[in-house]
Amino acid sequence: MKETDMLTMRGIHKEFPGVKALSNVDFTLRKGEIHALMGENGAGKSTLIKVLTGVYPLDRGDIRVEGIEGAVINHSPEEAQKNGISTVYQEVNLCPNISVAENISLARQPLTKWGAVKWKKMNKTAEAALEAVGLKIDVTKTLGDYSVAIQQMVAIARAVDVQCKVLILDEPTSSLDDQEVKKLFEVMKSLKNQGVSIIFVTHFLEQVYEVCDAITVLRNGELVGRYDVAELPRVQLVAKMLGHEYDDLAQIRSQGGESLSGESRETILDARELTKAGSIRPFDLEIGKGEVIGLTGLLGSGRSELARLLFCADKPDRGELSFKGEAVRAHNPIDSLKRGMAFLPEDRKEEGIIGDLSVRENLIIALQARTGMFKLLPLSKQNELADKFIKILSIKTASAETPVSQLSGGNQQKVILGRWLITDPDFLILDEPTRGIDVGTKAEIQKLIVQLAREGMTIMFISSEIEEMLRTVDRLCVLCDRKKVGELKNENITQHNVMAAIAGGNQ
Amino acid sequence: MNLIEQAKRKVSGSNFLLMVTIVMFAIMYLAGILIYSRQGFGNMQTFMNMLIDNAGLIIVASGMTVVIITGGIDISVGSMVGLSCMMLAYMMEIKGMKASTAVGIVLLFGIVFGTVQGWLISYLKIQPFIVTLAGMFFARGLTAMISVDQIAILSNQNFLDMANKNIYLPFGAIVNKRGIKLFPFIHPSVVIALITLAVIWYVLKYTKFGRSVFAIGGSEQSAMLMGLNVRKVKMSAYVLNGFLSALGGFVFCLNTTSGFVEQARGFEMEAIASTVIGGTLLTGGVGTVVGSFFGVLIKAIIETYIRSNGTLSSWWNKIVLSLLLCFFIVLQSVFAALRRRRG
């Protein structure tokens, strides 16, 4: 460990059953620097942090902290705090049922010599801590009464208030508005001047270039490299995160201005200035019948959020949405289903498959939900539909009555896809339908998408794998930092253009 | 900030549910005085009798409140009360032990019992319902092993003195027909119960342990990430509850002065009901022992109504209690829904 280093992690290994989450990762944090930890979903950022702070046990590796003799292994967040590492985790990790002040000083309340909590002093300390992050609120109120953004600021205030050497901020800005982000950056810079080292995890490229000194990029649980911010242009960073070399720098150009022309298709969905605070900035989107439209962007760029607005899973703050020529007023997923939309959500692994039910039952469930609980579909009809879709999707199963849990992951995926196809939607949203399945099945699903579109179904395809988008979509929307930054069409859809659009998105 | 706003803030949050309970109690009490004035409902002694009859329940409900605030549950307490009574009766009557020794052993047993349950729940992460269900069967079985016959405590004079001692209060006297002033009295059991209540209130409000209990009930994961030793705190809550159920058993025994297999059957449910009526959320994180105290009193008032009336079936007790429980649970979810909308 060098004199200038605050924290070093060497050869970090972490394995979960069946998954290598981290393999041989090195990480160095210098004194008084703000260090961005970047990577796509599943890259291992959060795991690295949780290993460091003792939430997960470390399999192998060596962690050293400045001022502490020998290797440091934290067995719990409590221990990590004692070793000078303070963390704000991705989701607000505070207790909503107790007061703001208590949340700030939990586990280290000021006590009288008899061991009683000094409430007044605790409230005063909390007020001071919040003032440091520019917040003036009633600290005696229950935390849950405040908005998520304020809760996030409280979490930050707590982490800062714990006297620490290393401050870890795991996506602290995802629920903050611009003003709050600015304030947070001020706080971070002032801490940096006091000699605190900060690990900053974020999806927002803009923020990295605004506040960070160094970047470490992870991909698939492996270290890609450590770079100085000044020496790594945006495009290179995007390329390193996605794992493709971006060789031709000359081609960088913003695609933001390009619009769709010569659209001859009948419009099925039209969104104007649709927006929801904290999830996606205003966007326009027109989708033609039978079109396959792709949505891409880095994780957290607002892909799923956009889709959720279109499906009415979330209520927009402003803007207009019309579907099949009719303005959509009631924002309710059930109505969307009835209107002929279907949505395959991203986190279906937990929510989608009902393992103990048969393939038939899993296939039929969405259609049954649409017809109503009391109008049971006749068994003959169920069998007919099930057999048909097992064939269409070539689901490999012993029979329609086999429990879904006995199928392989890829086939389970097809069953969920089939579940929505059975409802015969006019507009189908697929959020990451190919994640975590083998190449063969991927290709089959891609083929199916193209074929369905040819038959007149409109499909929105969301994926972070640009290559598969290239093969499937007619038109590609690129999102960055919750904003639609570009649209690419036909021959313009290339790796380079997509990366350029992401990198140039907010310049 | 003006006074009204301050009052509003006081009422908001968990205090609101507590206020409802207290107001409910006040209304029921006043109604009782109006309806059953001839039966002497308004006498201070009637109120004191409620405390005397329910001293054990007050203690057990206090412990239950702590456990429920952590987000857990303990349904072994009824059997523990029954077992405590049986152990006391057996040790004092059959073995001829001193009262203090017998009580000491019972309390120690409560701590050990709570420790085992707490360890299983917090360190092995087994559902509290299952662990304490096993504990409930175990304690009841053990009671029957000691004796299937009722053992009445007749010979231990120290214990009986403590059970029957009248502590007269210096206020609230009534004058009877012969012109003699009668002061209301309580038994030592009530003193023990009220001291316990005060101590638990203080522990929950002012100690690190107490505040940790709330934090864990709000979000175990968050509390862990904020650096609390969740397992230790949870285990301590069950140890405390084990102790309190034994103490509650001792106080219960002061009222019954006997041990019997069927004793205090369903007592755990009464404790849970009182706690819920008192504004403690079964999901954890919100609650007060003061509320549970009033929850016990509301149950006691219904019993007193029925006794005063004289013709009502005592099963009305259960019916009214069930309606009240429903009312409070609905109130809690309405309250939670409002809160979500505001958030």
pLDDT tens track for A358-380: 888 888 888 887 777 677 888 88
The rounded distance, in Å, linking the Cα atoms of B119 and A386 is 49
Instruction: Write down the pLDDT at residue A351.
Output: 59
pLDDT for A258 equals 35
The two structure tokens encoding residue A342: 């279907």
**Residue A431: strand pairing partners:** A462
* More confident: A433 or A34: A34
B221 and A106 within 8 Å at the Cβ level: the answer is no
Q: What is the pLDDT averaged over residues B29-41?
A: 88
- A143-147, A192-196, A349-353, B250-254: range with lowest mean pLDDT: A349-353
A121-171 pLDDT, tens digit each = 999 999 999 988 888 889 998 888 887 778 888 988 888 888 788 999 988
CA distances from A398 to A362, A382, A387, A410, B330 (A): 15, 17, 12, 15, 48
How many CA atoms are closer than 13 Å to the CA of A460, on its beta-carbon side?
30
Q: Would you say residue A430 has pLDDT above 60?
A: yes
Measured distance CA(B289)–CA(B214) in Å, rounded: 13
How do residues A180-210 score in pLDDT, each as one tens digit? 888 888 888 988 888 889 999 887 788 888 8
Band of residue B195 on the pLDDT scale cut at 50, 70, 90: very high
Q: Does A315 touch chain B (CB under 8 A)?
A: no
Q: Distance between alpha carbon A344 and the CA centroid of its chain, in Å?
A: 16
Q: Is the CB of A76 less than 8 angstroms away from the CB of B227? A: yes
The residue-averaged pLDDT of A66-89 equals 84
pLDDT at A461 over 70: yes
Chain B positions touching A81 (Cβ under 8 A) are: 227
Residues 267 to 286 of B: which have CB under 8 A from any A CB?
285-286
- Is B8's pLDDT higher than 60? no
Residue A106 and residue B9: Cβ atoms within 8 Å? no
Where does the pLDDT of residue A256 fall: very low under 50, low under 70, confident under 90, or very high at 90 and above?
very low
Calculate mean pLDDT across residues A403-432. 83
Q: Best interface-test mutation with A: which of B209, B219, B225 has the largest number of A CBs within 10 A?
A: B225
Segment of A138-152, A335-349, A425-439 carrying the highest mean pLDDT: A138-152
Q: Is the pLDDT of residue A506 over 50?
A: no
Provide the 8-state DSSP code for A249.
Answer: G
* A266 or A299: which leads in pLDDT: A266
Q: What is the pLDDT of residue B174?
A: 82
The Cα A289–Cα A292 span in angstroms is: 9
What confidence score (pLDDT) does residue A133 get? 81
B287 in contact with chain A, both atoms CB, cutoff 8 A: no
pLDDT of res. B213: 96
Provide the 3-class DSSP secondary structure of residue B79: helix
CB-based burial of residue A496 (10 Å sphere; 0-12 exposed, 13-18 middle, 19+ buried)? middle
- As for the ipTM of the complex, it is 0.82
Query: Does A505 have pLDDT greater than 70?
Result: no
B76 pLDDT band, cuts 50/70/90, is very high
Which of A332-341, B27-36, B305-314 reaches the highest mean pLDDT?
A: B27-36
State yes or no: pLDDT of A114 exceeds 70. yes
pLDDT of B20: 86
To the nearest 10°, the Cα dihedral for A204, A206, A207, A210? 170
What does the pLDDT look like over B95-111, one tens digit per residue?
999 999 999 999 999 99
Q: Select the residue from B14, B219, B220, B226 to test the A interface by mutation, using most A Cβ atoms within 10 A.
A: B226
Local confidence band at B10 (pLDDT 50, 70, 90 cut-offs): very low
CA distance A427 to A324: 10
| Range with the poorest average pLDDT among A474-478, B186-190, B231-235 | A474-478
Can you read off the two tokens belonging to residue B305?
Answer: 């109504």
pLDDT at A348 over 80: no
**Nearest Cβ partner of A93 from B212, B214, B226?**
B226
Give the Cα separation of B136 and B134 in Å (integer): 5
Is some CB atom of chain B closer than 8 A to the CB atom of A117? yes
Interface subset of B 9-48, CB within 8 angstroms of A: 9, 13-14
Min Cα–Cα distance to chain A from B322, Å: 27
Instruction: State the Cα–Cα distance between residues A404 and A503, nearest whole angstrom.
Output: 42
Residues B214-232 pLDDT 10s: 999 999 988 988 888 999 9
- Measured in angstroms, the CA of B241 and the nearest CA of chain A are apart by 21
Tell me what percent of the residues of chain A surpass a pLDDT of 90.
11
User: Which position has the higher pLDDT, A237 or B261?
Assistant: B261
Q: Could you write out the DSSP letters of every residue in A140-191?
A: TSBGGGS-HHHHHHHHHHHHHHS--SEEEEESTTTT--HHHHHHHHHHHHHH
Exposed e or buried b per residue across A97-119, where buried means at least 16 C-beta atoms within 10 angstroms of its C-beta: bbbbbbbbbbbbbeeeeeebbeb
Q: Does A98 touch chain B (CB under 8 A)?
A: yes
* pLDDT, position A342: 87
Instruction: Give the per-residue pLDDT at A324.
Output: 85
| Chain A contact present for B224, CB below 8 A | yes
* Mean per-residue pLDDT, A103-121: 88
Q: Are strands B167-168 and B185-186 parallel, antiparallel or unpaired?
A: antiparallel
Report, in this order, helix, strand and coil percent for chain A, each rounded to 5.
35, 25, 40
Q: How far apart are CA B295 and CA B291, in angstroms?
A: 6
User: Does domain B43-336 correspond to CATH entry 3.40.50?
Assistant: no
Q: Indicate if the pLDDT at residue A253 is higher than 60.
A: no
For residues B7-14, average pLDDT: 50
Mean of the pLDDT values across residues A304-309? 85
Interface test with B, best of A79, A86, A89, A97 (most B CBs within 10 A): A97
Residue B263 burial class via C-beta count within 10 angstroms: exposed 0-12, middle 13-18, buried 19 and up: buried
Phi, psi of B102 (to 5 degrees): -60, -45
β-sheet with A214-219: strand ranges across: A85-88, A166-170, A197-201, A34-38, A214-219, A222-228
Please list, in sequence order, all residues whose beta carbon lies within 8 angstroms of the beta carbon of residue A108, skipping any fewer than 6 positions away: A162, B227
Contact A507, A480 (CB under 8 A): no
How does residue A212 score in pLDDT terms, banded at 50, 70 and 90?
very high
* Chain A residues touching residue B226 (CB < 8 angstroms): 77, 93-95, 103, 106-107, 158
How many Cβ atoms are within 10 Å of A73's Cβ, its own excluded? 16
**Does residue A247 carry a pLDDT above 60?**
no
Pairing, β A214-219 against β A34-38: parallel
Give residue B154's pLDDT.
92
What pLDDT is recorded for position A257?
Answer: 32
In the predicted model, what is the mean pLDDT of residues B305-325? 85
Work out the pLDDT band at B209, boundaries 50, 70, 90: very high
Q: Do A141 and B218 touch (CB under 8 A)?
A: no
User: If we measure between CA atoms, which residue out of A137, A427, A151 comes closest to residue A293?
Assistant: A427
Percent of chain A topping pLDDT 70? 91
A168 pairs with which residues across the strands?
A: A87, A199
User: Who among B208, B218, B343 is closest to A117 (CB)?
Assistant: B208
* A89/B225 CB distance under 8 A: yes
Give mean pLDDT, residues A25-32.
91
Q: Which of A268-272, A350-354, B47-51 has the highest mean pLDDT?
A: B47-51
Residue A244: per-residue pLDDT: 62
Average pLDDT for residues A331-344, to the nearest whole number? 82
Beta-carbon separation of A76 and B13 below 8 A: no
User: Which residues face A458 on adjacent strands?
Assistant: A427
* A19-30 and A458-462 beta bridge pairing: unpaired
Neighbours of B45 (CB within 10 A): 18
